[in-house]
Each structure stands twice: as structure tokens, then as C-alpha cells.
Amino acid sequence: MSSSSLVGTRAGLLQICLAGVLWGTGGLAVQVVRDHAPLSALTISGWRTGLAAVVLLAAALAVGRLGNVRRLLRARPGRVAVVGLCTAAYQALYFASVVLVGVTVSTVVSLGLAPVLLVARDAVVARSRPGGVLPVLAALTGLVLVSGAAGLGETGPSPALGVLAAVASGTAYAAATALGEPLARESDPLALTAATTSVGAVGLVPLALLLGGPAGTSDPVALATLVYLGTLTFALAYALLYAGLRTTPSSAAVVATLVEPVTAGLVAAAFLDERLGVLGVVGMALVLSAIASLSRSGRPSAPAAPASAPAR
């Protein structure tokens, strides 16, 4: 590898890691909003998706790629719509899990489950045993430990419902990734992200207005945090991810999914006083080591590679 290629790869890896750090702060941001305004997780998700769609469409317009967005929507409307709605669903379910069980558990369970499901999907499609049986078992064991720890510690008001929401979030994330993978191979990343995010906003924002309770707030801290969620943890984070993927192998994008739960756990411990106990920490370590092992084998590269799966 030439020195220029090495520099490019390292720069890309750094960009992906920075995206993971931004995602990892999303759970804390949700808690900050709720501390300052009576907004539901659904309403916060609607704000985040709507703001991200506006930012992404503006970016596409600024760089002359808005036509790519329109062409993609005309060429593949069904798949783009399904991916966009799955994207909106797993984000809303993740935020609901954060409220119910806390940042650490919701992030580890939802993020750790998706690669496991995708490995299982690959095995079914190939009609063979998964190559990473031990990592999958380790991840499942870790998820059980983290979920069990949620019921023992002061992690949230409704641990059982929170874990179920996190499982549903991880499942929707895996579905969006699997369905978006073909689109990602044939589409411009910015156009694809703008298209799927816009569809997600069209589906989620009206739902939030109808069922989410108070639709807005005048609290400056809450408003600023909502803007942070939409512009930085969504639009900017995925701009960094796709920039990194230009010079980094797609399997390295899994690094972002490793950085996110670590960041979320550290942030939750530092600012929210969340504690999982020994079993919870062991479970988190098992999940992260399993995903790292799978990423080395190249199997879970799909979760982060498609431009359609802005997870958090």
C-alpha cells in the first residue's frame, strides 16, 4: 500500500470513528431534551428526522445532486420507501428504549442485535452455517446479561419494555440495512441518504404530530439539543461515514458500531449516573468483542456500509 493510500485509509477510519462518537451521544441528547421539555420519544424522533431531511436535501441541492434524489425515487420508489420507513421505525424505537431503560442498555442491545441478525440472514441466504458461530453465541450471551442487568439496576422506569423496544429497534435496523444494501451499491450515497431520510420524515413527522403529544417547545436548551440531534448526530455523522467509506474498506465501517456503544456507555456513566453492575459490564464486553470478531471475518460489514441505514 502506498503512503498516500495509507493516509487516505487512516483518514477514512478516523471519519468513521467520529461518526460513531456522534451517534453515541444521541441517547444523552434525548435525555437532555426530556429534562427541559415534555416531549415524547416519538416527537423527538420526528424532529430529528425532519431536521436531518431538510439538511440533507439542502446539501444535495448545494452540490447539484437533487436531481439524483428525484431519479432514485422514480426508479426504485418501493424499496426506497421501505428502507426509509424502517429507518424511521428503528430510530423511534431506539429513543423510546432510551427513555424506558436508559442509554447504555438500549444502545448495546439494539446495536449488538443487528449484526447478529445479519449474520443469520447471510447463513440462511447461503444455506450454510454461519462462519462465526462462537461470536454469535457470545453476542447473544452478552445481550442476555445486559438485558438481565437492566432489571436489577436503576437504568430506567420500565426495563422490560425498554429491552423489547431495543430488540425491535435492532431488528428494524437490520431490516433497513439488508434491504438498503442493493440500493447502496448502485446509488450516490448522498442522494440515497437524502431520499430515504425524506421518506422516513414523511412517515414519522405526521405520526409524531398525531400521537406524540406536545409537538414543540420554546425552551432554548431543548431546541438547541433537537438541532444537535438532527444536524450533527444524523446529517453530519452520516456525511462523515460516507466520506470515510470512500477510502476505507466497507468492513471497517463496523468500527463505527463499536465506537457508538462505548461512547454511549461512557457518556451515560459520566452524565446520567447509569450503572449496569458486573454482569452488565461483562455482557457489554461480550457484545463488543463478538461484533469485533465478526467484523474481522468480514461478515457484518453490511450494517454500516449501506448509505440507507442511519442508525441513531
Does residue 22 register a pLDDT over 80?
yes
Which pLDDT score is estimated for 221?
A: 96
- In a domain, residue 164? The reply is yes
Phi, psi (5° rounding) for residue 128?
-145, 170
Label residue 3 exposed, middle or buried (CB < 10 Å: 0-12, 13-18, 19+).
Answer: exposed
- In a domain, residue 281? The reply is yes
- In a domain, residue 310? The reply is no
Which pLDDT score is estimated for 226?
A: 96
- In a domain, residue 311? The reply is no
Which pLDDT score is estimated for 233?
A: 92
**Alpha carbon separation from 212 to 57, 140, 215, 216 (Å, rounded):** 25, 33, 7, 10
Across the range 270-280, mean pLDDT stands at 74
Per mean pLDDT, which range of 136-140, 146-150, 211-215 is the poorest? Answer: 146-150
DSSP code of residue 216: -
- Tell me: the pLDDT tens digits for 145-201? 766 665 555 556 788 898 899 999 989 988 887 787 778 778 888 888 899 999 999
Per mean pLDDT, which range of 4-8, 41-45, 239-243 is the poorest? Answer: 4-8
- Position of cell 476505507? 248
The band of 106, judged by pLDDT with boundaries at 50, 70 and 90, is: confident
Which pLDDT score is estimated for 308?
A: 40
The band of 272, judged by pLDDT with boundaries at 50, 70 and 90, is: confident
Which pLDDT score is estimated for 301?
A: 42
Cα angle for residues 147, 274, 234 (degrees, 5° grid): 85
| pTM for this entry | 0.77
Q: CB of 156 within 8 A of CB of 284?
A: no
Which pLDDT score is estimated for 188?
A: 83
Across the range 218-230, mean pLDDT stands at 96
Which pLDDT score is estimated for 291?
A: 62
Which pLDDT score is estimated for 45?
A: 92
Structure-model confidence comparison of residues 198 and 16, the more confident one: 198
- In a domain, residue 312? The reply is no
Domain of residue 150 covers: 3-301
Domain count, the chain: 1
**Nearby residues of 124 by Cβ (< 8 Å), 6 or more positions away:** none
- In a domain, residue 200? The reply is yes
The band of 36, judged by pLDDT with boundaries at 50, 70 and 90, is: very high
Which pLDDT score is estimated for 59?
A: 93
- In a domain, residue 117? The reply is yes
- In a domain, residue 307? The reply is no
